[in-house]
Amino acid sequence: MKRSFFFLGAWLTLSACYQAPGTDGAAPQPPTVKLTDVPGHEGLVDGRHKDGPRMLAGESYLRSYMMLFGDISPAEVARAARGAEGNELFVSWKSHLGALGLPDYGADIARGAESNTIMLATYERLGVALCDRAAERDLKSARDRRVFDFELAKDPMDRAAFDAGFDVLHRTFLGYPASLASGRGDRFFRLYSDVLARHAAPGAAPSKLTPPEAGWSVVCYGLVRHPEFHLY
């Protein structure tokens, strides 16, 4: 038995010290000759996918909007975005899909390869429609809330109540707590307060939204236009 252990130990020691013939233990080095330098491979094309900025397909962005509208179909999204008063915030998918970068194979229009100002403005337009319709629906009724999933405070200027509601919107659009964005709550509270004051001022233009509802709608505008909503 002792002899068996002796031979086993000797074998393990030799195995650990063994090196393959012609190697010195160094890591293998990549070849120094390019493949195109090999005779007969001069015209070889590098077909590897290059690293670089990539844009998500327009359908991915639209899916986010559809979920925020209530996880409904494109036709239902169009009806919800249009509303009943005909202010043309959103007309029809046919009017906007090209600007959103989606292809139109019937008209031989290719998919947009990169973002542009028209595309971003069209997404903003859809976002504004989302915020207005959501304010009309969510802030006037507690039923089936999708965006403004909170109650309006009795005191519109209650900062603690604003912070709680803003955190709900921040998580909905940007995906993380508002407390992680230093100073953002203060800036949006100033925006909310300014809108509230303008809508409550004597002689203000009539609106279908109350001053607090209008304030929250504009806060929603700011978040749906935020670069993090579109880029992450």
Q: Under a CB-based contact definition with an 8 Å cutoff, are residues 192 and 215 in contact?
A: yes
Does residue 77 sit within a domain? yes
Domain assignment present for residue 189? The answer is yes
Residue 142: enclosing H or E segment and its boundaries? Answer: none
Domain assignment present for 164 = yes
The per-residue pLDDT for range 21-43, each reduced to its tens digit, is 455 566 777 777 777 777 877 77
Note down the domain range covering 119. 58-231
Q: Is the dihedral of CA 16, 22, 26, 31 positive or negative?
A: negative
Residue 143 in domain? yes
Secondary structure class of 50 (helix, strand, coil)? coil
What pLDDT, on a 0 to 100 scale, did the predictor assign at position 231? Answer: 64
Answer whether residue 35 is part of any domain: no
Residue 31 lies in a domain: no
Confidence of residue 88 (pLDDT cuts 50, 70, 90): low
> Which has the minimum average pLDDT: 2-16, 171-185, 188-202?
2-16
**pLDDT tens digit string along 121-152?**
888 888 888 888 888 888 888 777 888 999 99
Q: Residue 5 falls within a domain, yes or no?
A: no
Complete DSSP assignment for 71-138: S--HHHHHHHHH-SS---S---HHHHTTTTT--BGGGTBPPPSS--HHHHHHHHHHHHHHHHHHHHHH
Output the pLDDT for position 105. 77
Say how many domains are in the chain: 1
- Does residue 22 lie in a domain region? no
Percent of the chain having pLDDT more than 70?
78
